């Protein structure tokens, strides 16, 4: 059975005190047993967050990492550094990394390799811009992002991969893909993985939806057959709204 995941990507929000304030509240909450809860705070707060939730069913995730294991890469963070503080899951290829930090498929495929070599789990993000959807090239674009970024990995490596579909036009805009649009693309992603690998592998991959998921639309989006959870930005910054989204998945 596929893992149900609700992951909060905090992006460049929350300092140490704000992170702890949130976590104190989060730790009082009871999560539905069928949902894996993840939080991706800023690099500076990963160590603290990891130790803070040590006794709780919350996975602390990095928002990015460098493709090299070490070296002269000023300002970068390696897989080894993340693992040394207990962080073994990393978001790769978020559209903000692709757009503002020029992360292309070549770099991302290297990052995927580095994550897998270091026995980490990668949440690999794909997503089209509004112009792609208007030009009806969105399916082709997602297929290319998958082919170039991740379709070089072995069959076995898929157990450490989660896919996140995030239409760029729906991120932080309040505009959500309709549940039908989300399902259509998630089904396409699963079919594409099945064609390249196998149905067995595709059926086991969790595919998360991201883009303006809120308490009031989570149930419908998560109710779609091929949607296995969400990568949540803005609504993950308050325990109340994040919990409502988590509970939308509850047993
Ligand atoms: O990583 C999260 C996504 O970018 C979604 O962000 P959002 O929920 O604020 O639209």
| Structural domains of the chain ordered from first start | 4-247 (3.20.20.70)
Mean pLDDT of all residues in 17-37: 97
- Render pLDDT for 236-247 as a digit per residue (tens, 0 to 9): 999 999 999 999
Angstrom CA distances, 70 to 11, 89, 91, 235, stand at: 24, 18, 19, 34
Residue 128: pLDDT above 80? yes
Looking at the DSSP bridge assignments, the partners of residue 207 are 163
CB 10: neighbour CB atoms within 10 A?
A: 22
Q: Ligand 1 in contact with 99 (CB < 6 A)?
A: no
Is residue 166 part of the annotated active site? The answer reads yes
Angstrom CA distances, 210 to 128, 140, 163, 200, 235, stand at: 12, 19, 10, 24, 11
Q: Is position 247 annotated in a ligand binding site?
A: no
Q: Is position 11 annotated in a ligand binding site?
A: yes
Is residue 94 part of the annotated active site? The answer reads yes
pLDDT band per the 50, 70, 90 thresholds, residue 251: low
- Render pLDDT for 141-187 as a digit per residue (tens, 0 to 9): 999 999 999 999 999 999 999 999 999 998 888 788 899 999 999 99
Q: Ligand 1 in contact with 9 (CB < 6 A)?
A: yes
Q: Ligand 1 in contact with 86 (CB < 6 A)?
A: no
């Amino acid at each position: 059975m596929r893992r149900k995941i609700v992951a909060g990507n905090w992006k460049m929000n929350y300092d140490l005190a704000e992170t702890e304030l949130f976590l104190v509240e989060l730790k009082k909450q009871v999560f539905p047993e069928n949902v894996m809860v993840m939080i991706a705070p800023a690099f500076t707060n990963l160590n603290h967050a990891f130790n803070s939730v040590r006794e709780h069913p919350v996975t602390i995730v990095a928002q990015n990492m460098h493709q090299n294991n070490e070296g002269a890469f000023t300002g970068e963070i390696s897989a080894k550094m993340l693992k040394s503080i207990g962080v073994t899951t990393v978001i790769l290829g978020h559209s903000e990394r692709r757009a503002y930090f020029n992360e292309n498929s070549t770099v991302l495929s290297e990052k995927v390799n580095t994550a897998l070599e270091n026995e980490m789990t990668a949440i690999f993000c794909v997503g089209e811009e509004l112009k792609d959807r208007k030009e009806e090239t969105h399916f082709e674009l997602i297929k290319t992002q998958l082919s170039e970024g991740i379709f070089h990995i072995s069959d076995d490596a898929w157990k450490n991969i989660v896919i996140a579909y995030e239409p760029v036009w729906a991120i932080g805009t309040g505009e959500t893909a309709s549940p039908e649009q989300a399902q259509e693309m998630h089904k396409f992603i699963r079919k594409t993985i099945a064609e390249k690998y196998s149905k067995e592998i595709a059926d086991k991959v969790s595919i998360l939806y991201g883009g303006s998921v809120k308490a009031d639309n989570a149930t419908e989006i998560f109710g779609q057959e091929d949607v296995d959870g969400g990568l949540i930005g803005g609504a993950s910054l308050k325990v109340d709204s994040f919990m409502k989204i988590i509970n939308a998945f509850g047993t």
